[in-house]
Amino acid sequence: MLERPRGYWPDVFHRFRRESIAWLAAAVVAAFVLAAVAAPRIAPYSPLKTALLERLRPPSAAHWLGQDEVGRDILSRVIFGGRVSLAVGVLSVALGVGVGGLLGIVAGFYRRLDDPIMRVVDIVMAFPFILRAIAVVAILGPGFINLFIAIGFGQIPTFARLVRSLVLGVKGETFVEAARAIGADDRRVLSHHVLPQMVAPITTYSTLEMGAAILGAATLSFLGLGVNPPTPEWGALASAGREHLRYAPHVVVFPSLAIFIAVWAFNVLGDALRDAMDPKLRGR
């Protein structure tokens, strides 16, 4: 008896659930998100409460990850720092998808605008990502809003190129030509035929870029160009503790470990989604 073919999304879920490492990465991401949302409830101490007489103390029963250079609880600051890092990741990727996606759609769908838009994108991409972000922060100044704008600005060119290539690929498909033949205008072709084909690859790439955004935000904060102290952020926490690395390594290790685990989880999750959503792998 022949097996009834699954639909696209059930097929995606079927292939995704076979990857145990993907489930682990998804669980890690979910744990970070839940911890960030529930930070005021689960953090054992205030992230801003100091205790100078207990500065740089190692992990203990009272302070599981130890205390920093002014006696603040590192676990609480890592938990609250996740709120900033994840928020910067989500907002910057949203900015990259929104602006870059719009530029890519216009460039790919209206060929007369393709060359001028892509030449500007090429000029921006000639500079490394982190250099573009530093330039934006240097102009706007440090702070949470400027931080995610800087990271998002750095991601706009890559999303523009991705969406443009997707639009060009879909435009040549037979079903688009058939829609044109029966009188569909540009708006209908975009909304009913082009954009739905872009959901899967953009979702996959956005997940991968979340890890890059978190790492970029941590890098800028480590350089002193991120959020303003004493607001906790993973890169800023690692930067503040580097002077005490020799005799109090826990001050640097735990924030750095949070960055590593978060970036790893988003990269693995993005790879798993890419493999699951790739139509060339359907039926395997």
Dump the DSSP string for 126-158: TS-HHHHHHHHHHHH-SSHHHHHHHHHHHHHHH
Largest CA distance in the chain: 78
pLDDT of residue 196: 82
Count of helices and strands (H, E) across the chain = 13, 0
Evaluate if residue 46 carries a pLDDT over 70.
yes
For the chain, give the mean pLDDT. 88
Instruction: Express as a percent the part of the chain with pLDDT over 90.
Output: 61
Residue 283 pLDDT > 50: no
CB atoms within 10 A of CB 208: 18
Percent of the chain at pLDDT > 70 equals: 93
Model confidence, pTM? 0.89
Whole-Å CA distances, 48 to 53, 63, 182, 232: 15, 14, 64, 8
pLDDT greater than 70 at residue 280: no
- 216 CB contacts (<8 Å, ≥6 apart)? 92, 129, 130, 133, 151, 154
Identify the pLDDT of residue 251: 95
Q: Is the pLDDT of residue 261 over 80?
A: yes
Give CA–CA dist 89/213, Å, rounded: 5
The CATH code belonging to domain 16-37+72-281 is 1.10.3720.10
Contacts within 8 Å (CB) and 24+ apart, 25-30: 25/264, 25/265, 25/266, 25/268, 25/269, 25/272, 26/265, 26/269, 28/261, 28/262, 28/264, 28/265, 29/262, 29/265, 29/266, 29/269
The residue whose two tokens read 């928020």 is: 87
- CA–CA gap between residue 18 and residue 22 (Å, rounded): 8
Q: 277: which 2 tokens?
A: 């959503």
Is the four-CA dihedral 234, 235, 238, 240 of positive or negative sign? negative
pLDDT at 170: 85
Confidence at residue 25, expressed as pLDDT on a 0 to 100 scale: 93
CB within 8 A of 263, min separation 6: which ones? 211, 212, 214, 215
Digit-coded pLDDT (tens) for 127-183: 988 889 999 998 999 899 999 999 999 999 999 999 999 998 888 778 777 877 887
Confirm if 195 and 180 have CB atoms less than 8 A apart. no
Per-residue pLDDT band at 8 (split at 50, 70, 90): low
**What are the backbone angles phi and psi of residue 232, rounded to the nearest 5°?**
-75, 135
Strand partners, 67: 73
Q: What is the pLDDT of residue 284?
A: 47
Contact 152, 220 (CB under 8 A): no
Name the residue among 248, 74, 103 with its Cα closest to residue 167: 103
Hunting for tokens 């009834």 — which residue is that? 4
